[in-house]
Amino acid sequence: MPAIEVRNLSKVFRVSEKEPGLGGAFKSLFRRKFRTVPAVSDVSFDIKEGELVGFLGANGAGKTTTLKMLSGLLHPTTGTASVLGFEPWKRKPAFQKQFSLVMGHRTQLWWEIPAQETFRLNQEIYEIPEADYKRNIDELVDLLELQDCLSIPVKKLSLGQRMKAELAAAILHRPKLLLLDEPTIGLDVVMQKKVRQFILEYNRRYKATVLLTSHNMDDVSELCPRILIIERGRLLYDGALRSVVERYAPFKLMRADFSGDVVTADLERIGKVLENRGPSATLEVPRHDVSAKAAELLSRFPVVDLTIEETPVQEVVRRLFIAGGKSGA
Ligand SMILES: Nc1ncnc2c1ncn2[C@@H]1O[C@H](COP(=O)(O)OP(=O)(O)OP(=O)(O)O)[C@@H](O)[C@H]1O
Ligand SMILES: [Mg+2]
């Protein structure tokens, strides 16, 4: 049985439209106008137990709405979902105990009290036996380096410290499924890296299933072999990150510094020259030809430094949007 099974899931929001001004507010008391917002449209996918999947899309594409349905916070308009064998919106306690939804821009911690007191509260809510609680807390404090943060009121923690405490609170009951909505938002690069390492470690150690949204492509390329891309509520792509990269980023960039000037026409033999200024140049080289071309460059030109770069994943996804997307592999 897949950890998540989604079939033809749709969510249409109905929002009342008010005419501007006081008169408009008065009128709308009697005659409400509604507008419908199709946030998620006919989305289907399966996620296997233990998989790490990235959920990508532009602002307003429907990612958070989907995660809210999968965690039972929202009823779908149509369609079905089975999450860990449960229908999420029935909100069975047995279901609630097996997953966690973490939203990067919201907190489940109590603001005025130290995080460790929220942890205790979660122990009660999730009915975690004392021995398990102690073991889990020790492990989390260690993994997330939370030693210095536990007894300080949450409102006094830095954003990064709070995010780590947030993850600890969400994971204390060892959920089998993590739904993470922008877990690295607002964090500096060092802290982002720590959060990613933690997610990966948790996934590996407990075979936990992870579905995460992010606008940060490092999250995606470091964590998610598989991605789902949603655009305007519709699933545009479901497949390997690698095949998207190969299809929409067939080139790599080679940047070389030379000990003297080189002639652009000579460099063209290696690859398409994007820039050749003084003693350094940038070339576009087919991905599968990179090592041969690099060797040729090194042997024929006075190279003092050479770097090879990937096309940024944002750019890859942008090209996929433009191409209209394709499902598969
Ligand atoms: N409670 C709501 N009532 C009305 N419309 C809503 C509601 N929640 C979301 N929407 C609309 O549904 C669409 C999808 O929103 P959603 O929050 O799922 O996007 P998202 O992919 O998470 O975007 P972001 O990357 O900005 O977080 C948007 O058009 C949004 O305005
Ligand atoms: Mg969102």
Domains of the chain and any CATH numbers: 4-245 (3.40.50.300), 251-309 (3.30.70)
- Residue 309, classed as helix, strand or coil, is strand
Tell how far the Cα of 57 is from the centroid of ligand 1, in angstroms: 12
Cα of 40 from ligand 1 centre, angstroms: 9
Q: What is the pLDDT of residue 165?
A: 93
Ligand 1 atom with the shortest distance to the CA of 68: 18
12, 43, 56, 65: residue to mutate for ligand 1 pocket, most atoms within 8 A of CB: 65
Pocket probe mutation, ligand 1, options 13, 106, 216, max atoms within 8 Å of Cβ: 13
Burial of 21 (0-12, 13-18, 19+ CB in 10 A): exposed
Report pTM. 0.82
pLDDT of residue 255: 95
> In one letter, which amino acid is 66?
T
Alpha carbon distance 303, 299 (integer Å): 8
Distance, C-alpha 159 to centroid of its chain = 18
- 10-residue block means of pLDDT along the chain (329 residues)? 96 84 67 86 98 92 96 97 97 94 88 94 94 93 89 92 92 95 88 91 95 87 92 93 84 93 94 92 93 96 91 73 59
| Residue identifier of the C-alpha nearest atom 31 of ligand 1 | 60
Given the CA of residue 182, which atom of ligand 1 is nearest to it?
Answer: 27
Which pLDDT value is given to residue 328? 46
Task: Tell how far CA 232 is from the center of its chain.
Answer: 17
From the CB of 67, is ligand 1 less than 6 Å away?
no
